[in-house]
Amino acid sequence: MSVTVSSPAVRSFHVSRSPHKTISRPRVIISAVRSTDSLGVAPILTKLQKDCATPLPVLRHVADAMADDMRAGLAVDGGSDLKMILSYVDTLPTGNEKGLFYALDLGGTNFRVLRVQLGGKEERVVATEFEQVSIPQELMFATSEELFDFIASALGKFAQKEGGNFELQQGRTREIGFTFSFPVKQTSIRTGILIKWTKGFAVSGTAGKDVVACLNEAMERRGMDMQVSALVNDTVGTLAGARYWDDDAMVAVILGTGTNACYVERVDAIPKLAKRMSKSPITIVNTEWGAFSNGLPLTEFDREMDAESINPGEQIFEKTISGMYLGEIVRRVLVKMAKVGGLFGSSYVPEKLVTPFVLRTPDICAMQQDTSRDLEAVESVLCDVAGVKSDLSARKTVVDICDTIAKRGGRLAGAGIVGILQKMEEDSKGLIFGKRTVVAMDGGLYEHYPQYRGYLQEAVTELLGSEISKNVVIEHSKDGSGIGAALLAAANSKYEHDD
């Protein structure tokens, strides 16, 4: 089994199947490495497992605190760690949408353009097509006009290839759902002011401007008959994509390199929305739950990693449950076990192992899938990735560490989901737990890490009990955010839909 992970975007965790099981180089003969010093390693492992433990009372506390923080964040901006950002998505897809719609997903050094032909309730999605475009590095440091002109040009070329099953209704402008995964202050479904560029971008002249206007103006400069109908966050897009197929979809969670969650909220349950006029009784709220920090079981390794991060004291939930960090936590445990406990013989610590983030979450996932008698895949990952020669006893310890960190992450993510559902249930007085409720999941961590996925579901069942948890359906919604943005463009189209 080989494992790859691309640059840190929320859904970039990926596991592919090939050669870990068949090691092409000669087997490493361990003679100089003595058997793991259980006296040195065992106490470290025991303490780690104790510090990471998520028994039912801990899960309950996390779920309750998540619900409380949601309420505080809805009451007033800055009321809690959770930003509880209003998405201005008041109109969700119903299945009645018809016509040709586009989506643009800009979240990193690549962006994706997509088109979808919708046929209403009977035909649903008639056809989809997409292309991925790489942004030249120099444009990441260019002017706002140069970047958006490049994006508009790629979108225009893609639109010119329209044909086959794709047909724009007469008299209509092509409408776009724009997924923009950078910090923006959204003021309506069609406007969002860029707060700052992240992820290595340093484009001049965009901060403080409406990114929708930037794109619309670039398309106008090229004479393109296209305009943005909806500006959306990727998590919101995932929920819209799930809702199109299933009216019971109420929550969406992304668990990939990063993590976030959004849900359908009643407008009358949002005190900070008091002055806003809305015809709809519901809207989607983007929790930005990665910033949650209340009552999480943390270890010395979490605290060290956080202190050395670019954002110390922030995004603690994300640092505990998401794919960007699980492998790094395991690496830090291994370094201590190697130094103090002689995990790999005496106090030897290979140079590679002391490199931050060299051990990635796909690596620890691959090691946990190893069912061979000698744990050959574990041996291969440790040797290739961390420069470590290991005996079987050490490899077993490594698998235990991976399981401990994945178990805590999965169970805390499950408690977070229950916290959201709990808050919705308390406000709706029985409309959530009393009927089928779907939680749409996206992201490579959830998709490719079966143990993590199992621990998440286990925590949800423990917290809700076997009867209520039967009504909560946790479904994988692969790549829902792309088509979700196009569906939101359709749902918020300036043209009326046939009912």
Of 123, 201, 207, the closest CA to residue 165 belongs to: 123
The catalytic residue among 199, 470, 478, 494 is 199
Helix axes 450-469, 361-368, angle to 10 degrees: 80
Taking 3-state DSSP, the helix, strand and coil percentages for the chain, each rounded to the nearest 5, stand at: 45, 20, 35
- Dist. CA 367–CA 142, nearest whole Å: 42
User: Active site includes 199?
Assistant: yes
Cβ contact 323:257 at 8 Å: yes
Q: Token digits for 429?
A: 């007085």
- Dist. CA 105–CA 135, nearest whole Å: 12
Cβ contact 6:256 at 8 Å: no
Of 91, 129, 103, 90, the closest CA to residue 226 belongs to: 103
- Dist. CA 399–CA 374, nearest whole Å: 12
User: Active site includes 234?
Assistant: yes
Neighbours of 296 (CB within 10 A): 20
Neighbours of 422 (CB within 10 A): 22
Cβ contact 85:285 at 8 Å: yes
Of 322, 298, 156, 364, the closest CA to residue 235 belongs to: 322
392 forms beta bridges with none
Neighbours of 269 (CB within 10 A): 18
Burial tier of 140 (Cβ tally within 10 Å: 0-12, 13-18, 19+) = middle
The catalytic residue among 81, 149, 234, 391 is 234
- ∠ CA 167-172-173, rounded to 5°: 95
Strands 98-106 and 110-119, bridge-based pairing: antiparallel
Burial tier of 193 (Cβ tally within 10 Å: 0-12, 13-18, 19+) = middle
- In the block, tokens 């509880």 appear at 84
Residues near 25 by Cβ (< 8 Å), separated by ≥ 6?
none
Cβ contact 187:193 at 8 Å: yes
- Dist. CA 125–CA 242, nearest whole Å: 13
Residues forming the active site: 199, 234
